[in-house]
Structure 1
Amino acid sequence: MPLKQAILITAYKDFPQLERLTSEFDERFNIYIHIDKKSSLTSIERNVFLRNGNIKYLGQDYRVNWGGLNHLRAYLQLVQVALKNLDNQYFHLITGQDFPIQSNSYFDRYLDGKQDHMSAFTMPAAGWKNGGMDRLKYYQFYDLFNARKSTLWISRFRRLQINLGFKRKIPAYLGQLYGGNTYWSLSRSTLKYVVDFTKKNPRFFNRFRHTFCAEEIYFQTIIMNSTYRENVITDDLRYMDWKSGRGGFPAFLDPTDFEEIINSNKLFVRKLDMNANSLFEMLSSHRKNNP
Protein backbone atom coordinates (compact mmCIF):
# COMPACT_ATOMS: atom_id res chain seq x y z
CA MET A 1 0.00 0.00 0.00
CA PRO A 2 1.26 3.53 -0.75
CA LEU A 3 2.21 5.73 2.18
CA LYS A 4 -0.40 8.27 3.18
CA GLN A 5 -0.86 11.45 5.15
CA ALA A 6 -3.64 11.81 7.69
CA ILE A 7 -5.81 14.91 7.97
CA LEU A 8 -7.26 15.23 11.48
CA ILE A 9 -10.18 17.65 11.69
CA THR A 10 -12.28 18.98 14.56
CA ALA A 11 -15.53 20.79 13.74
CA TYR A 12 -18.83 21.78 15.28
CA LYS A 13 -20.78 23.67 12.60
CA ASP A 14 -20.94 24.66 8.90
CA PHE A 15 -21.02 21.10 7.60
CA PRO A 16 -21.27 22.13 3.90
CA GLN A 17 -17.98 24.01 4.41
CA LEU A 18 -16.47 20.93 6.06
CA GLU A 19 -17.60 18.75 3.14
CA ARG A 20 -16.04 21.26 0.72
CA LEU A 21 -12.78 21.17 2.68
CA THR A 22 -12.54 17.36 2.69
CA SER A 23 -13.19 17.20 -1.05
CA GLU A 24 -9.88 19.01 -1.67
CA PHE A 25 -7.79 15.98 -0.62
CA ASP A 26 -7.20 13.11 -3.05
CA GLU A 27 -6.43 9.42 -2.52
CA ARG A 28 -3.04 10.23 -1.00
CA PHE A 29 -4.82 11.29 2.21
CA ASN A 30 -6.89 9.61 4.89
CA ILE A 31 -9.27 11.90 6.74
CA TYR A 32 -10.40 11.61 10.37
CA ILE A 33 -13.10 13.91 11.75
CA HIS A 34 -14.40 14.63 15.23
CA ILE A 35 -17.61 16.64 15.46
CA ASP A 36 -18.69 18.17 18.75
CA LYS A 37 -21.24 15.92 20.45
CA LYS A 38 -23.34 19.02 21.12
CA SER A 39 -23.71 19.56 17.38
CA SER A 40 -26.69 18.19 15.50
CA LEU A 41 -25.40 16.01 12.65
CA THR A 42 -28.27 14.48 10.68
CA SER A 43 -28.10 11.03 9.08
CA ILE A 44 -28.27 12.75 5.70
CA GLU A 45 -25.27 14.94 6.52
CA ARG A 46 -23.37 11.93 7.87
CA ASN A 47 -24.02 9.98 4.67
CA VAL A 48 -22.79 12.93 2.59
CA PHE A 49 -19.46 12.76 4.42
CA LEU A 50 -19.14 9.01 4.24
CA ARG A 51 -19.62 9.01 0.47
CA ASN A 52 -16.11 10.43 0.41
CA GLY A 53 -13.95 7.30 0.50
CA ASN A 54 -11.03 9.23 1.99
CA ILE A 55 -12.96 9.80 5.21
CA LYS A 56 -12.04 6.88 7.46
CA TYR A 57 -13.54 8.09 10.73
CA LEU A 58 -16.41 10.38 11.64
CA GLY A 59 -17.03 10.47 15.38
CA GLN A 60 -18.89 12.48 17.98
CA ASP A 61 -17.13 11.18 21.07
CA TYR A 62 -16.97 14.30 23.25
CA ARG A 63 -18.98 17.38 24.15
CA VAL A 64 -16.40 20.05 23.41
CA ASN A 65 -16.53 23.40 25.18
CA TRP A 66 -14.08 26.05 24.07
CA GLY A 67 -11.14 26.05 26.48
CA GLY A 68 -12.08 22.71 28.04
CA LEU A 69 -10.15 19.45 28.29
CA ASN A 70 -12.47 17.57 25.94
CA HIS A 71 -10.88 19.44 23.07
CA LEU A 72 -7.60 17.73 23.90
CA ARG A 73 -9.41 14.42 24.37
CA ALA A 74 -10.88 14.75 20.87
CA TYR A 75 -7.42 15.36 19.41
CA LEU A 76 -5.96 12.34 21.16
CA GLN A 77 -8.88 10.22 19.96
CA LEU A 78 -8.24 11.25 16.33
CA VAL A 79 -4.52 10.58 16.71
CA GLN A 80 -5.04 7.12 18.17
CA VAL A 81 -7.53 6.11 15.46
CA ALA A 82 -5.29 7.41 12.66
CA LEU A 83 -2.21 5.66 14.05
CA LYS A 84 -3.97 2.30 13.69
CA ASN A 85 -3.54 2.61 9.92
CA LEU A 86 0.14 1.83 9.34
CA ASP A 87 0.01 3.54 5.95
CA ASN A 88 -0.37 6.93 7.66
CA GLN A 89 3.10 8.44 8.02
CA TYR A 90 2.45 12.14 8.55
CA PHE A 91 -0.40 13.86 10.37
CA HIS A 92 -1.92 17.33 10.05
CA LEU A 93 -4.29 18.71 12.69
CA ILE A 94 -6.73 21.34 11.38
CA THR A 95 -10.27 22.62 11.93
CA GLY A 96 -13.33 22.71 9.71
CA GLN A 97 -12.64 26.41 9.12
CA ASP A 98 -9.19 25.79 7.61
CA PHE A 99 -8.14 25.20 4.01
CA PRO A 100 -5.01 23.83 2.31
CA ILE A 101 -2.86 26.35 0.46
CA GLN A 102 -0.47 24.02 -1.36
CA SER A 103 -1.30 21.32 -3.91
CA ASN A 104 -1.77 17.71 -2.89
CA SER A 105 1.48 16.75 -4.62
CA TYR A 106 3.31 19.46 -2.63
CA PHE A 107 2.38 17.60 0.56
CA ASP A 108 4.31 14.53 -0.62
CA ARG A 109 7.60 16.05 0.52
CA TYR A 110 6.54 15.54 4.14
CA LEU A 111 6.19 11.77 3.81
CA ASP A 112 9.80 11.17 4.83
CA GLY A 113 8.70 12.02 8.36
CA LYS A 114 12.02 13.62 9.30
CA GLN A 115 10.65 16.97 10.42
CA ASP A 116 7.92 18.01 12.82
CA HIS A 117 6.27 21.39 12.41
CA MET A 118 4.81 22.82 15.60
CA SER A 119 4.66 26.16 17.33
CA ALA A 120 6.53 25.80 20.63
CA PHE A 121 7.92 28.26 23.18
CA THR A 122 8.90 28.00 26.82
CA MET A 123 6.54 29.07 29.58
CA PRO A 124 6.10 31.53 31.17
CA ALA A 125 5.57 33.01 27.71
CA ALA A 126 5.80 36.71 26.97
CA GLY A 127 2.88 36.61 24.54
CA TRP A 128 0.40 35.06 26.98
CA LYS A 129 -1.32 36.82 29.88
CA ASN A 130 0.66 36.19 33.07
CA GLY A 131 2.94 34.01 30.99
CA GLY A 132 0.11 31.49 30.56
CA MET A 133 0.73 30.09 34.04
CA ASP A 134 -2.75 31.01 35.30
CA ARG A 135 -4.08 28.32 32.97
CA LEU A 136 -2.57 25.76 35.32
CA LYS A 137 -2.41 27.59 38.65
CA TYR A 138 -6.17 27.98 39.05
CA TYR A 139 -9.13 25.67 38.53
CA GLN A 140 -10.69 26.60 35.20
CA PHE A 141 -14.22 25.25 34.71
CA TYR A 142 -14.57 25.44 30.94
CA ASP A 143 -15.80 21.84 30.75
CA LEU A 144 -18.64 22.67 33.15
CA PHE A 145 -19.76 25.93 31.55
CA ASN A 146 -20.01 26.83 27.88
CA ALA A 147 -17.78 29.88 27.48
CA ARG A 148 -19.28 30.62 24.05
CA LYS A 149 -22.50 31.52 25.86
CA SER A 150 -21.12 33.07 29.04
CA THR A 151 -17.90 33.21 31.04
CA LEU A 152 -19.61 34.62 34.15
CA TRP A 153 -19.27 31.60 36.43
CA ILE A 154 -15.85 30.65 35.07
CA SER A 155 -14.60 34.15 35.89
CA ARG A 156 -16.24 34.16 39.31
CA PHE A 157 -14.63 30.90 40.37
CA ARG A 158 -11.23 32.07 39.14
CA ARG A 159 -11.59 35.41 40.91
CA LEU A 160 -12.58 33.63 44.15
CA GLN A 161 -9.37 31.58 44.05
CA ILE A 162 -7.28 34.69 43.45
CA ASN A 163 -8.97 36.55 46.31
CA LEU A 164 -8.37 33.62 48.66
CA GLY A 165 -4.72 33.40 47.65
CA PHE A 166 -5.22 29.84 46.41
CA LYS A 167 -2.92 28.38 43.74
CA ARG A 168 -2.70 24.87 42.39
CA LYS A 169 0.72 23.27 42.62
CA ILE A 170 2.49 22.76 39.30
CA PRO A 171 4.27 19.44 39.88
CA ALA A 172 7.85 18.81 38.84
CA TYR A 173 6.83 15.77 36.78
CA LEU A 174 5.34 18.10 34.18
CA GLY A 175 8.90 19.17 33.32
CA GLN A 176 9.62 22.44 31.57
CA LEU A 177 6.28 23.70 30.29
CA TYR A 178 5.94 24.67 26.63
CA GLY A 179 3.08 26.37 24.84
CA GLY A 180 2.15 27.12 21.27
CA ASN A 181 -0.61 27.29 18.68
CA THR A 182 -2.95 24.31 18.75
CA TYR A 183 -2.49 23.04 15.20
CA TRP A 184 0.55 21.12 13.97
CA SER A 185 2.00 18.77 11.33
CA LEU A 186 3.79 15.85 12.97
CA SER A 187 5.42 12.57 12.01
CA ARG A 188 4.16 9.13 12.93
CA SER A 189 7.03 8.39 15.32
CA THR A 190 6.51 11.62 17.24
CA LEU A 191 2.77 11.15 17.62
CA LYS A 192 3.21 7.54 18.64
CA TYR A 193 5.56 8.77 21.36
CA VAL A 194 2.90 11.23 22.60
CA VAL A 195 0.24 8.49 22.72
CA ASP A 196 2.57 6.01 24.47
CA PHE A 197 3.65 8.67 26.96
CA THR A 198 0.01 9.48 27.73
CA LYS A 199 -0.82 5.83 28.40
CA LYS A 200 2.22 5.33 30.63
CA ASN A 201 1.80 8.58 32.57
CA PRO A 202 -1.89 9.00 33.44
CA ARG A 203 -1.12 11.52 36.19
CA PHE A 204 0.47 13.79 33.57
CA PHE A 205 -2.77 13.91 31.59
CA ASN A 206 -4.91 14.16 34.72
CA ARG A 207 -3.05 17.30 35.86
CA PHE A 208 -4.54 19.09 32.87
CA ARG A 209 -8.09 18.62 34.18
CA HIS A 210 -9.77 21.95 34.83
CA THR A 211 -7.09 23.96 33.03
CA PHE A 212 -7.56 26.39 30.16
CA CYS A 213 -6.81 25.32 26.56
CA ALA A 214 -4.69 22.33 27.57
CA GLU A 215 -4.24 21.48 23.88
CA GLU A 216 -1.98 24.55 23.56
CA ILE A 217 0.43 23.09 26.12
CA TYR A 218 0.06 19.31 26.13
CA PHE A 219 1.69 18.22 22.86
CA GLN A 220 4.37 20.90 23.10
CA THR A 221 5.41 19.96 26.63
CA ILE A 222 5.60 16.21 25.97
CA ILE A 223 7.52 16.55 22.71
CA MET A 224 9.90 19.33 23.75
CA ASN A 225 10.91 17.41 26.88
CA SER A 226 11.88 14.38 24.77
CA THR A 227 14.55 13.54 22.23
CA TYR A 228 11.94 14.26 19.53
CA ARG A 229 12.51 17.95 20.14
CA GLU A 230 15.52 17.60 17.81
CA ASN A 231 13.12 17.07 14.90
CA VAL A 232 10.92 20.09 15.68
CA ILE A 233 10.87 23.15 13.48
CA THR A 234 8.95 25.77 15.44
CA ASP A 235 6.89 26.85 12.46
CA ASP A 236 3.43 25.27 12.45
CA LEU A 237 2.97 26.07 8.72
CA ARG A 238 -0.38 27.79 9.34
CA TYR A 239 -1.21 31.20 7.94
CA MET A 240 -3.21 33.18 10.52
CA ASP A 241 -3.98 36.85 11.08
CA TRP A 242 -3.83 37.62 14.80
CA LYS A 243 -3.73 41.40 14.35
CA SER A 244 -6.69 42.75 12.38
CA GLY A 245 -9.42 41.16 14.50
CA ARG A 246 -11.84 40.85 11.59
CA GLY A 247 -14.53 38.69 13.15
CA GLY A 248 -12.28 37.27 15.86
CA PHE A 249 -8.77 36.16 16.78
CA PRO A 250 -7.44 34.82 14.52
CA ALA A 251 -9.32 36.91 11.97
CA PHE A 252 -11.64 35.61 9.29
CA LEU A 253 -9.81 36.02 6.00
CA ASP A 254 -11.14 37.21 2.65
CA PRO A 255 -9.93 37.68 -0.97
CA THR A 256 -7.85 40.72 -0.01
CA ASP A 257 -5.55 38.32 1.84
CA PHE A 258 -5.02 36.00 -1.12
CA GLU A 259 -1.62 37.22 -2.34
CA GLU A 260 -0.12 37.23 1.13
CA ILE A 261 -1.50 33.75 1.80
CA ILE A 262 -0.09 32.10 -1.32
CA ASN A 263 3.29 33.78 -0.83
CA SER A 264 3.55 32.65 2.78
CA ASN A 265 4.96 29.15 2.09
CA LYS A 266 2.49 27.76 4.64
CA LEU A 267 0.50 24.54 4.26
CA PHE A 268 -2.86 25.67 5.63
CA VAL A 269 -4.78 28.88 6.16
CA ARG A 270 -7.22 29.59 8.97
CA LYS A 271 -9.84 30.73 9.34
CA LEU A 272 -12.39 31.02 6.56
CA ASP A 273 -16.14 31.35 6.16
CA MET A 274 -17.34 29.84 2.88
CA ASN A 275 -20.61 31.80 3.05
CA ALA A 276 -18.89 35.16 3.36
CA ASN A 277 -16.36 35.31 0.52
CA SER A 278 -14.86 33.68 -2.59
CA LEU A 279 -11.45 32.92 -1.06
CA PHE A 280 -12.29 29.21 -1.09
CA GLU A 281 -12.45 29.05 -4.88
CA MET A 282 -9.40 31.26 -5.30
CA LEU A 283 -7.33 28.94 -3.12
CA SER A 284 -8.73 25.81 -4.76
CA SER A 285 -7.82 27.16 -8.18
CA HIS A 286 -4.35 28.10 -6.95
CA ARG A 287 -3.78 24.55 -5.70
CA LYS A 288 -4.80 23.01 -9.02
CA ASN A 289 -2.69 25.39 -11.09
CA ASN A 290 0.44 25.07 -8.95
CA PRO A 291 1.10 21.34 -8.54
Structure 2
Amino acid sequence: MHLDQLNQQYGLPELSFGDRQRGFPVIKIKNRFATAEISLYGGQVLSFQPSNTQADLLFLSDRSHYRPGKAIRGGIPICWPWFGADPDGLGRANHGFARDRLWTVRHTETLANGATRVILSLQDDEETHKIWDYAFELAIAVTVGETLDLELTSHNRDQRPMTITQALHTYFTIGDIQRVKVLGLAGLDYIDKADQEKLKQQIGEVTIQGEVDRIYQNTAPKLFIDDLSLERKIEVCNRNSTTTIVWNPGMEKTATMGDLSPDAYQRFLCVETANAAAETITLAPGERYTLGITYRLL
Protein backbone atom coordinates (compact mmCIF):
# COMPACT_ATOMS: atom_id res chain seq x y z
CA MET A 1 0.00 0.00 0.00
CA HIS A 2 1.39 3.41 -0.99
CA LEU A 3 1.92 6.22 1.52
CA ASP A 4 -1.04 8.20 0.15
CA GLN A 5 -3.31 5.19 0.64
CA LEU A 6 -1.97 4.57 4.14
CA ASN A 7 -2.55 8.20 5.12
CA GLN A 8 -6.04 8.16 3.66
CA GLN A 9 -7.07 4.90 5.32
CA TYR A 10 -5.18 5.02 8.62
CA GLY A 11 -4.06 8.63 9.13
CA LEU A 12 -5.17 10.55 12.22
CA PRO A 13 -4.77 14.20 13.23
CA GLU A 14 -1.72 13.18 15.26
CA LEU A 15 -0.54 10.31 13.02
CA SER A 16 0.88 10.27 9.50
CA PHE A 17 2.91 7.99 7.24
CA GLY A 18 6.18 8.93 5.57
CA ASP A 19 9.49 7.43 4.42
CA ARG A 20 12.55 7.29 6.67
CA GLN A 21 14.53 5.99 3.71
CA ARG A 22 13.17 5.16 0.27
CA GLY A 23 11.13 1.97 0.60
CA PHE A 24 11.15 2.10 4.42
CA PRO A 25 7.78 3.56 5.45
CA VAL A 26 7.30 4.81 8.99
CA ILE A 27 4.43 5.97 11.17
CA LYS A 28 5.02 9.37 12.76
CA ILE A 29 3.05 10.24 15.88
CA LYS A 30 2.86 13.55 17.71
CA ASN A 31 0.24 13.80 20.44
CA ARG A 32 0.06 15.81 23.65
CA PHE A 33 2.09 13.20 25.51
CA ALA A 34 4.98 12.37 23.21
CA THR A 35 6.40 11.98 19.73
CA ALA A 36 7.15 8.54 18.32
CA GLU A 37 8.17 6.79 15.13
CA ILE A 38 7.33 3.21 14.15
CA SER A 39 8.84 1.41 11.16
CA LEU A 40 6.61 -0.90 9.11
CA TYR A 41 9.80 -2.77 8.25
CA GLY A 42 10.27 -5.01 11.26
CA GLY A 43 7.19 -3.67 13.06
CA GLN A 44 9.80 -1.76 15.01
CA VAL A 45 9.39 1.26 17.28
CA LEU A 46 12.31 3.57 16.44
CA SER A 47 11.66 6.55 18.68
CA PHE A 48 9.67 7.60 21.74
CA GLN A 49 10.24 11.00 23.30
CA PRO A 50 7.88 12.25 25.99
CA SER A 51 6.94 15.92 25.75
CA ASN A 52 9.24 18.35 27.55
CA THR A 53 12.17 15.92 27.62
CA GLN A 54 15.56 16.50 26.03
CA ALA A 55 16.52 12.94 25.09
CA ASP A 56 14.69 10.15 23.30
CA LEU A 57 13.94 7.13 25.44
CA LEU A 58 15.23 4.93 22.60
CA PHE A 59 18.60 4.79 20.87
CA LEU A 60 18.78 4.56 17.06
CA SER A 61 22.16 4.19 15.39
CA ASP A 62 23.01 6.86 12.82
CA ARG A 63 24.71 4.08 10.86
CA SER A 64 21.72 1.75 10.71
CA HIS A 65 21.35 -0.20 7.49
CA TYR A 66 18.10 0.45 5.64
CA ARG A 67 18.30 -2.49 3.27
CA PRO A 68 15.95 -5.45 2.80
CA GLY A 69 17.17 -8.41 4.80
CA LYS A 70 19.09 -6.26 7.29
CA ALA A 71 17.80 -5.40 10.76
CA ILE A 72 17.58 -1.75 11.81
CA ARG A 73 20.06 -1.13 14.63
CA GLY A 74 18.18 0.49 17.49
CA GLY A 75 14.69 1.18 18.75
CA ILE A 76 12.81 -1.99 19.69
CA PRO A 77 13.61 -4.86 17.28
CA ILE A 78 11.34 -7.90 17.51
CA CYS A 79 13.24 -11.19 17.86
CA TRP A 80 10.86 -13.94 16.73
CA PRO A 81 10.20 -16.92 16.41
CA TRP A 82 13.49 -17.51 18.16
CA PHE A 83 15.86 -15.44 20.24
CA GLY A 84 19.59 -15.78 19.64
CA ALA A 85 21.11 -18.49 17.49
CA ASP A 86 19.05 -20.87 15.34
CA PRO A 87 17.68 -23.39 17.89
CA ASP A 88 17.85 -26.22 15.36
CA GLY A 89 21.39 -25.49 14.18
CA LEU A 90 20.31 -25.11 10.55
CA GLY A 91 22.26 -21.93 9.92
CA ARG A 92 19.25 -19.64 9.89
CA ALA A 93 19.71 -16.02 10.95
CA ASN A 94 20.05 -15.05 14.60
CA HIS A 95 16.86 -13.74 16.21
CA GLY A 96 14.50 -15.13 13.56
CA PHE A 97 12.94 -13.18 10.71
CA ALA A 98 10.27 -10.85 12.11
CA ARG A 99 12.64 -7.89 12.37
CA ASP A 100 13.52 -7.90 8.67
CA ARG A 101 10.06 -8.33 7.13
CA LEU A 102 7.57 -5.67 6.08
CA TRP A 103 4.56 -5.62 8.41
CA THR A 104 0.96 -4.67 7.57
CA VAL A 105 -1.04 -1.88 9.21
CA ARG A 106 -4.20 -3.29 10.82
CA HIS A 107 -5.54 -0.47 12.96
CA THR A 108 -4.88 3.07 14.19
CA GLU A 109 -6.88 4.82 16.88
CA THR A 110 -6.94 7.85 19.15
CA LEU A 111 -7.90 6.61 22.61
CA ALA A 112 -10.24 8.46 24.95
CA ASN A 113 -7.33 9.67 27.08
CA GLY A 114 -5.54 11.14 24.05
CA ALA A 115 -3.01 8.34 23.60
CA THR A 116 -2.45 6.85 20.14
CA ARG A 117 -2.69 3.12 19.42
CA VAL A 118 -1.30 1.32 16.38
CA ILE A 119 -1.60 -2.38 15.50
CA LEU A 120 0.67 -3.99 12.91
CA SER A 121 0.74 -7.64 11.89
CA LEU A 122 2.91 -10.20 10.14
CA GLN A 123 1.55 -13.43 8.64
CA ASP A 124 3.18 -16.50 7.22
CA ASP A 125 3.78 -16.59 3.49
CA GLU A 126 5.80 -18.56 0.98
CA GLU A 127 9.05 -16.91 2.09
CA THR A 128 8.54 -17.49 5.82
CA HIS A 129 7.65 -21.14 5.20
CA LYS A 130 11.08 -21.62 3.62
CA ILE A 131 12.60 -20.47 6.91
CA TRP A 132 10.09 -21.76 9.46
CA ASP A 133 7.31 -24.01 8.19
CA TYR A 134 4.37 -22.91 10.35
CA ALA A 135 1.17 -20.96 9.77
CA PHE A 136 1.03 -18.00 12.15
CA GLU A 137 -0.04 -14.45 12.74
CA LEU A 138 2.11 -12.11 14.80
CA ALA A 139 0.70 -8.75 15.93
CA ILE A 140 2.34 -5.82 17.67
CA ALA A 141 0.11 -3.27 19.41
CA VAL A 142 1.90 -0.01 20.27
CA THR A 143 0.31 2.63 22.49
CA VAL A 144 1.98 6.04 22.64
CA GLY A 145 0.85 8.11 25.63
CA GLU A 146 2.32 9.09 28.97
CA THR A 147 3.97 5.68 28.72
CA LEU A 148 5.11 3.55 25.80
CA ASP A 149 3.26 0.22 25.82
CA LEU A 150 3.84 -2.77 23.54
CA GLU A 151 1.96 -6.06 23.27
CA LEU A 152 3.38 -8.77 21.01
CA THR A 153 0.78 -11.47 20.34
CA SER A 154 1.69 -14.79 18.71
CA HIS A 155 -1.17 -16.79 17.19
CA ASN A 156 -0.61 -20.40 16.13
CA ARG A 157 -2.68 -20.83 12.95
CA ASP A 158 -1.10 -24.20 12.18
CA GLN A 159 -2.44 -27.69 12.82
CA ARG A 160 0.59 -28.56 14.97
CA PRO A 161 1.93 -27.19 18.25
CA MET A 162 4.66 -24.62 17.72
CA THR A 163 7.44 -23.65 20.11
CA ILE A 164 8.93 -20.16 20.15
CA THR A 165 11.37 -18.00 22.02
CA GLN A 166 11.17 -14.24 21.60
CA ALA A 167 12.36 -10.85 22.81
CA LEU A 168 11.61 -7.17 22.54
CA HIS A 169 15.25 -6.14 22.09
CA THR A 170 14.96 -2.57 23.38
CA TYR A 171 17.85 -0.12 22.94
CA PHE A 172 17.69 2.64 25.56
CA THR A 173 19.46 5.97 25.15
CA ILE A 174 22.04 6.36 27.91
CA GLY A 175 24.07 9.45 28.76
CA ASP A 176 27.21 7.51 29.72
CA ILE A 177 27.37 3.71 29.89
CA GLN A 178 29.70 3.89 32.91
CA ARG A 179 27.13 5.89 34.88
CA VAL A 180 24.08 3.66 34.55
CA LYS A 181 22.63 0.91 36.74
CA VAL A 182 19.89 -1.66 36.19
CA LEU A 183 17.93 -2.07 39.42
CA GLY A 184 15.96 -5.18 40.34
CA LEU A 185 18.25 -8.01 39.21
CA ALA A 186 20.45 -8.37 42.31
CA GLY A 187 20.76 -11.93 43.56
CA LEU A 188 19.42 -13.54 40.38
CA ASP A 189 21.11 -16.24 38.33
CA TYR A 190 22.15 -15.36 34.79
CA ILE A 191 23.75 -17.02 31.79
CA ASP A 192 26.88 -15.09 30.85
CA LYS A 193 27.05 -15.30 27.06
CA ALA A 194 30.22 -13.21 27.08
CA ASP A 195 31.95 -15.87 29.22
CA GLN A 196 31.27 -19.27 27.66
CA GLU A 197 27.62 -19.25 28.81
CA LYS A 198 28.61 -19.87 32.41
CA LEU A 199 25.84 -19.72 35.00
CA LYS A 200 26.55 -16.92 37.49
CA GLN A 201 24.79 -14.98 40.21
CA GLN A 202 24.33 -11.22 40.12
CA ILE A 203 26.01 -9.55 43.10
CA GLY A 204 24.54 -6.10 43.75
CA GLU A 205 22.93 -3.95 41.08
CA VAL A 206 23.97 -4.31 37.43
CA THR A 207 26.65 -1.93 36.17
CA ILE A 208 28.37 -2.07 32.79
CA GLN A 209 32.11 -2.65 32.43
CA GLY A 210 33.22 -3.85 29.00
CA GLU A 211 31.10 -6.28 26.97
CA VAL A 212 27.96 -7.44 28.77
CA ASP A 213 25.68 -10.15 27.35
CA ARG A 214 23.56 -11.78 30.05
CA ILE A 215 20.31 -13.70 30.23
CA TYR A 216 18.75 -13.19 33.66
CA GLN A 217 16.29 -15.83 34.84
CA ASN A 218 13.24 -15.57 37.11
CA THR A 219 13.14 -11.80 36.85
CA ALA A 220 10.48 -9.70 38.55
CA PRO A 221 7.72 -7.88 36.65
CA LYS A 222 9.30 -4.49 37.34
CA LEU A 223 12.86 -3.23 36.77
CA PHE A 224 14.46 0.22 36.67
CA ILE A 225 17.21 1.78 34.60
CA ASP A 226 18.93 4.49 36.65
CA ASP A 227 20.78 6.89 34.32
CA LEU A 228 22.91 9.19 36.45
CA SER A 229 24.26 11.14 33.48
CA LEU A 230 20.87 12.03 31.97
CA GLU A 231 19.42 12.31 35.48
CA ARG A 232 16.46 10.09 34.72
CA LYS A 233 15.05 6.75 35.77
CA ILE A 234 13.12 4.46 33.41
CA GLU A 235 10.57 2.02 34.80
CA VAL A 236 10.32 -1.25 32.86
CA CYS A 237 7.14 -3.27 33.52
CA ASN A 238 7.12 -6.75 31.97
CA ARG A 239 4.07 -8.95 31.36
CA ASN A 240 4.22 -12.69 30.70
CA SER A 241 8.01 -12.68 30.90
CA THR A 242 10.46 -13.89 33.53
CA THR A 243 13.57 -13.56 31.36
CA THR A 244 15.54 -10.33 30.94
CA ILE A 245 18.55 -9.82 28.69
CA VAL A 246 21.08 -7.08 29.43
CA TRP A 247 23.41 -6.33 26.50
CA ASN A 248 26.08 -3.85 25.56
CA PRO A 249 28.77 -4.85 23.04
CA GLY A 250 31.58 -2.83 24.63
CA MET A 251 34.34 -1.02 22.76
CA GLU A 252 36.07 -3.94 21.01
CA LYS A 253 32.98 -5.62 19.60
CA THR A 254 31.42 -2.31 18.59
CA ALA A 255 34.49 -1.61 16.45
CA THR A 256 33.64 -4.70 14.36
CA MET A 257 29.99 -3.72 13.79
CA GLY A 258 29.38 -1.76 10.61
CA ASP A 259 26.04 -0.33 11.71
CA LEU A 260 27.39 1.33 14.88
CA SER A 261 29.83 4.21 15.22
CA PRO A 262 32.95 3.25 17.23
CA ASP A 263 31.81 5.13 20.34
CA ALA A 264 28.11 4.22 20.14
CA TYR A 265 28.40 1.63 22.93
CA GLN A 266 28.82 4.51 25.38
CA ARG A 267 25.34 5.85 24.57
CA PHE A 268 22.99 2.85 24.72
CA LEU A 269 22.04 -0.12 26.82
CA CYS A 270 19.74 -2.97 25.82
CA VAL A 271 17.41 -4.25 28.53
CA GLU A 272 15.23 -6.81 26.78
CA THR A 273 11.92 -8.35 27.81
CA ALA A 274 11.95 -11.96 26.67
CA ASN A 275 10.81 -15.53 26.74
CA ALA A 276 14.16 -17.19 26.12
CA ALA A 277 16.68 -19.79 27.30
CA ALA A 278 14.69 -22.14 29.58
CA GLU A 279 11.53 -20.04 29.21
CA THR A 280 10.22 -21.39 25.90
CA ILE A 281 6.59 -20.97 24.85
CA THR A 282 4.65 -23.81 23.21
CA LEU A 283 1.34 -22.89 21.59
CA ALA A 284 -1.33 -25.45 20.75
CA PRO A 285 -3.14 -25.05 17.41
CA GLY A 286 -5.28 -21.92 17.61
CA GLU A 287 -3.65 -20.69 20.83
CA ARG A 288 -2.40 -17.12 21.40
CA TYR A 289 0.27 -15.72 23.71
CA THR A 290 0.96 -12.07 24.49
CA LEU A 291 4.29 -10.68 25.68
CA GLY A 292 3.94 -7.15 27.02
CA ILE A 293 6.02 -4.22 28.25
CA THR A 294 5.35 -0.71 29.50
CA TYR A 295 8.05 1.95 29.74
CA ARG A 296 7.60 4.99 31.94
CA LEU A 297 10.01 7.86 32.40
CA LEU A 298 10.19 8.78 36.09
TM-score, shorter chain, exceeding 0.5:
no
Which has the higher relative contact order, 1 or 2, with Cα contacts under 8 A spaced 6 or more apart? 1
Greater fraction of residues in strand: 2
- Pick the TM interval, shorter chain: under 0.3
TM-score when normalising by structure 2: 0.24
